Structures are given as structure tokens and as C-alpha cells.
Amino acid sequence: MEISALQKLRYTYKPKLPAGLSGEITEVALELGAPTESISDQGELRELFKHTYGKPLVAFVRGKNDKIQKKLTVGVILSGGQAPGGHNVIAGLFDGLKKGNPDSKLYGFLGGPGGLTDNKVREITGDFMDQYRNTGGFDMIGSGRTKIETPEQFAAALETAKKLNLDAVVIIGGDDSNTNAALLAEYFLAQGSAVQVIGCPKTIDGDLKNQYIEASFGFDTAVKTFSELIGNIARDANSAKKYWHFIRLMGRSASHIALECGLQTQPNICLISEEVEANNLSLGQIVDQICASIIKRAENKENFGVILIPEGVVEFIPEMKKLIAELNDVMALNAEIFAGLGNFEAQIDWLGGKLSPESGTLFQSLPEEIAKQLLMDRDPHGNVQVSRIETEKLLISMVEKKLSQLKKAKAYGGKFSALGHFFGYEGRCAFPSNFDADYCYSLGFSAFVLIASGLTGYLASVRNLTAPADKWIAGGVPLTMMMNLERRHGSQKPVIKKALVALEGAPFKTLAAFRDTWAVKTSFVFPGAIQYYGPPEVCDQPTRTLRLEYRP
């Protein structure tokens, strides 16, 4: 198979490790902290996780570790959506296992958690591993979104572990996947099994983070990839001077991607879902904000611009949130009736008497294409798939309508032409940046040390990420420490708490300090492509978000 010159070179890249993980493998020891508590609901979670609750924080230090050279058999799972660097987590885990004991084995479960329950597996050998080092994607073993949640699935996972004589399972995933990891660790211990479970923090959305998990892997590469594309479009806009570009970005529950890309590229407008909710902004008020920028720029003869939109913003707009909730309830209760309706017009007529007056009016006002998306694209639970709603087209349509009204009232004299874009899949499997290549490799190696040291129910942790890699601090965080109880599908469930954009945090405050200027004055920044070879200040820098959150 033909491969690119860059890919050949990336195979040879040697990821950097924190000082605590480099050197002689027998000198990587553990330093245990005090017992931990969950974020909230301590009593309930202590009862749910009788065997794994309250474990101490762990840091890796130089010292003697007699367990590190034990022969191990480990299985690894890629769970959920793709994120750049996943292959390097597996590489760090593989190299750690082989460094500890050359006879150790690593198995990859195929297609995500379903590979564990169905015993679909392949052994990861050195030659096979070398084909995927420092590359993007999850194609090495594939991923999947199966949740291990039924008694039968848990029992099947344990049966597979027994058949393969596994010492441990490593789950590479986001908050839901690592919640599953915590439940699996608890289940194994409750069944008297010694199989350990360790998680690694993955999601390009950036919403799996806290004091001890400073960043989820893949976020760095994804936002740099998106920012390059946004910068290219901004340069084109400033060249042609005739289009407004509405760019929807991945990020349903949190707006970390939009915020970071806003900081990197300085668009005219960058919507942040958490701010929309906090200020109780209506769809009309958002349209008014956009129109205000368009009008002011038109007065300067600049009939062009760039607007960034988080994909999940519609769920944070109060009246849209209410409409979506009503549609979910109505269609869930009347699924068979709705399925039997012949066409869109019939569906609209049927819904007329089922929605509240406010939601009914809003629904009728939406562009037909958006209304159809709200009705047709449902997830397995019957809910609207918000990620498929083309919010950029909705806003373009509403802005056009508003500007037309203003033009008739002689309150606007500019020209408005808009183009819509969605950036999501372009960033999920990109070649990992040097930062993500190093960070992911360190996470995988950390997972090995946690396993070799006999721990279970932990998430691999690498901190101090704004420093050079050799100054990073590696260790582990108890999964239960990051949990709370949330209502899911009608009952209280233990989940790892999502980290939303903090409106009092330095990254958002920095954006807020400049956005009035950016809204009127062309201030675009053009980040360019990710660089892999050159000075560290060009190739190894973390995101603006990290630098602002952890600046000295």
C-alpha cells in the first residue's frame, strides 16, 4: 500500500515521556495520596461502588517497584467517537507492557466495547503496532458506542476476560465510556474477579476535564485542524469581501471547541452555548446580535465576516429547548401514529394540536428544512439528533429575513450573502499534533504502570501540560472521584460530570474582552497547518485554552 512521505516520517517520531515515566522501568514507583470523595452524592455513590469508592490519588515517582516486571495480559478498547492520538495511547500501553516484560501480551477488542462482550479480538504484535504509531484515526481496531449496562453484557465481558486470561482491560473513551469503565471495575471485584479496569480520557469536545485531567486527548489536534480551516475561510472572506461564513463546529454539550477556535482565529462572532443559556437568550436575540455586527461592518464597506456556532447551541436556547423536549415527548408517546403519517404536511397538521402555543408558533416559523430535521432525524431513544440540525442554515435564513425587514425600513443599506459550513469529521481522525502524540503515548504508558501496580477503577492522568513534556506529572485518578448522580432515562445514574465552558474562566473572559472589537473590525488570525518539525514554540505548543487556564 502506498503511504505518504509524512506518514513514513511520523512512524519514526519518538514521543516524549514525563520524567516520572522515563529511565529504568523498575524505578517507576507509586506515591499514594489521601482517600478521595466524589464530586457530590457521596453516600449514594459509596453504596453503589462498595469496592472501588474512595481510592487515593496516585502519582508516579522514582523508586523501586517490584511488580512492574510481572508478565501481563491486557485487552484494550477504543470506545465512542474518534479522536486524534488513540493509536498512540495503544502504542504507549504496548511499549510499557513489553518494557516491563517482553512476554506480556496486548489484545485489541474489535469495534469498541461490543468486542469485549462478543469476544471479537486480535493480538497486537510489534509489527502490527508499528503500522499505526503517530497516526490519526481508530482504524487499528475500530471503535463503537455499545454500552455495557445489562447483567448479560457484564457477565459476557467477564466471560471473555476469563477466556483470554486477562489481567486488565483498558477503556479509551469519554465521560460515558469511562463511567462504564468504573461500573465494569466494580462489577469484576463484586464477582470476585481480579481483572483490573483502567480508563484513558478521550474526546475532541474537551468536556472530560477537571483539576487532575487538564485536557482530554484529541482536543488539541481537532481544534488546530478546525482553526486552520477557519483561518483559510477568513482569509478568503477578506480577499473576496462578499460573503458571510456561518461555521458550525462539533461540540454538543459544551462549547470548548468553538471557544478555542475563536481564540485562535478571532472571528467576528463566536457563539458560546453556556453563555446563551446563562443569559436566557432567545433565538431572536441571537439573530439581533449577528445583525448588529453585519450592519456595523456594512457601514465600513465590509460586507463579509466569519461566525462560529457550536453544534449544540439550539439545545441551550430556552424556546428551542422547550420545543425539542415537547417534540420528543409527543413523538415518543405517539410513535406508531406519527410513523403512519404520509408526508411532512400531514405531520405538521397532526402536531398542530399537540404542542404548546409558544412551541407551535416557533415550529411554524422555522425554515421547512430545519423543521424536517427536527422531525425526521431521531436517535434510538426517539429523541432529536441535535448534531444533525443545520443550525448555520437556520441562522442564515433568520438573518436574511431580519436584514430584509431592516432594508425596507431603510435601517440597513449593505449587501448580505452567506455560506454555511460544518466542521466535525474533518478533525476527528487528523494526524495527531506533537502535543497529542506525546500526551497520548504518556497516557497509555501510565495505564500500563497503573495495571502493573495492581490498581483498578482509575483514569490515567498526565498533568502540568503547559510545561515541556519531561516536566509533565503522570499518575492516576479514581474514576469515582469525578462522579455525580444525574437523571438519565427516568432514573438516577452515576456519571462522570461533564465539564462545560466556565464563564468565569480565563479562556472565556479573554474572548469576551475582545469580541466587541472583532465584531466590527476585521481582526482575523490565520493559524495555518499543524507543524510537526521545527522549533518547539511552533510544533509543541498546547491550546490557548490550556495556556490561559494554567498560566503562571
Residues 6+ apart with CB under 8 A from 192: none
pLDDT in tens, 96-133: 999 999 999 999 999 999 999 999 999 999 999 999 99
Residue 238 vs residues 224, 302, 359, 456: alpha-carbon distances, Å: 21, 9, 39, 54
CA 15/CA 134 separation, integer angstroms? 8
Q: Does residue 123 share a domain with residue 29?
A: yes
Residues 6+ apart with CB under 8 A from 541: 435, 547
Task: Kindly state the DSSP code that residue 144 receives in the 8-state scheme.
Answer: B
CA–CA distance from 95 to each of 91, 105, 466 (Å)? 6, 11, 25
Instruction: Identify whether residues 248 and 134 lie together within a single domain.
Output: no
Residues 242 and 139 in one domain: no
Q: Which of the 8 DSSP states describes residue 513?
A: H
* 250/425 Cα distance (integer angstroms): 8
- Whether residue 159 lies inside any domain: the answer is yes
- Total domains in the chain come to 3
Q: Are 108 and 101 in contact (CB under 8 A)?
A: no
Look at residue 547 and tell me if it is in a domain.
yes
Tell me the CATH number at 182: 3.40.50.450
C-alpha to C-alpha distance for 402 and 283, rounded to whole angstroms: 12
- 471 and 532 in one domain? no
Cα separation of 20 and 496, whole Å? 27
Q: Return the bridge partners of 74, or none.
A: 106, 168
Among candidate residues 55, 37, 374, 22, the one with its CA nearest the CA of residue 197: 55
**Domain membership flag for residue 512:** yes
Instruction: Please check whether residues 419 and 437 belong to one and the same domain.
Output: no
Last residue within a domain, chosen from 323, 356, 386:
386
| Residue that is last in its domain, among 447, 469, 488 | 488
Residue 400 burial (CB count, 10 A) = 14
Arithmetic mean of pLDDT, 229-239: 98
Asked which of 464, 488, 512 is the last residue of a domain, the reply is 488
Residue written as grid cell 497486537? 124
How would you classify the pairing of strands 73-78 and 56-62?
Answer: unpaired
HSE, CB side, 13 Å, CA atoms: give it for residue 511: 29
| 436 and 415 within one domain | no
Spatial contact of 544 and 263, defined as CB atoms under 8 Å apart: yes
Q: Residue 379's pLDDT is what?
A: 66
Read off the C-alpha cell for 466: 503547559
Are the CB atoms for 67 and 168 separated by under 8 Å?
Answer: no
Percent over 70 (pLDDT), the chain = 98
Q: What is the CATH number of the domain that holds 293?
A: 3.40.50.460
Determine how many CB atoms are found less than 10 A away from the CB of residue 541: 17
User: Do 172 and 232 sit in the same domain of this protein?
Assistant: no
Q: Judge if 251 and 352 occupy the same domain.
A: no
Is residue 12 domain-resident?
Answer: no
Residue 60 pLDDT > 70: yes
Identify whether residues 114 and 249 lie together within a single domain. Answer: no
Task: Give the cell for residue 535.
Answer: 522549533
Take residue 490 and report the three cell numbers written for it. 427516568
pLDDT given for residue 551 in this prediction = 83
CB 110 within 8 A of CB 120: yes
4: in domain: no
pLDDT digits (tens, 9 = 90+) for 328-338: 888 878 878 87
CB 373 within 8 A of CB 387: no
- Per-residue pLDDT band at 378 (split at 50, 70, 90): low
Per-residue pLDDT for 387 more than 80?
no
Nearest CA among 93, 233, 223, 239 for reference residue 169 = 93
pLDDT digit string (tens) for 155-210?
A: 999 999 999 999 999 999 999 999 999 999 999 999 999 999 999 999 999 999 99
Q: Is residue 6, in this structure, part of any structural domain at all?
A: no
C-alpha cell, 132: 499505526
Could you tell me if 109 and 115 are in contact, meaning their C-beta atoms sit under 8 angstroms apart? yes
Strands 418-423 and 269-270: unpaired
**What DSSP designation does 242 have?**
-
Domain that holds residue 346: 315-386
- Per annotation, catalytic residue among 95, 167, 176, 205: 205
Q: Give ∠ CA 247-252-255 in degrees, rounded to 5.
A: 70
Which pLDDT belongs to residue 73?
Answer: 98
Q: Is residue 241 domain-resident?
A: yes
The conformation of residue 432, written as its DSSP 8-state character, comes to P
Compute the residue count for the chain.
552
Do 183 and 303 lie in one domain? The reply is: no
Q: Which candidate, 477, 420, 423, places its Cα nearest to that of 311? A: 423
Q: For 430-481, how does the pLDDT look when each residue is reduced to its tens digit (9 = 90+)?
A: 999 999 999 999 999 999 999 999 999 999 999 999 999 999 999 999 999 9
Pairing of strands 483-488, 28-35: unpaired
User: Could you tell me the CATH number of the domain that includes residue 373?
Assistant: 1.10.10.480
Please check whether residue 342 lies inside any domain of the structure.
yes
C-alpha cell at 548: 490561559
- The secondary structure element, H or E, covering residue 93 is helix 86-100
pLDDT for 489 equals 66
205 flagged as catalytic: yes
Angle at 320 (CA atoms; ends 314, 306), nearest 5 degrees: 35
CA atoms of 290 and 235, how far apart (whole Å): 20
Same domain for 23 and 106, yes or no, is yes
What is the pTM (predicted TM-score) of this model? 0.95
The 10s digit of each residue's pLDDT in 479-520 is 999 999 998 767 899 999 999 999 999 999 999 999 999 999
Residue 250 corresponds to which cell in the numbers above? Answer: 462539533
**Do 379 and 362 share a structural domain?**
yes
pLDDT band at residue 345 using 50, 70 and 90 as cut-offs: confident
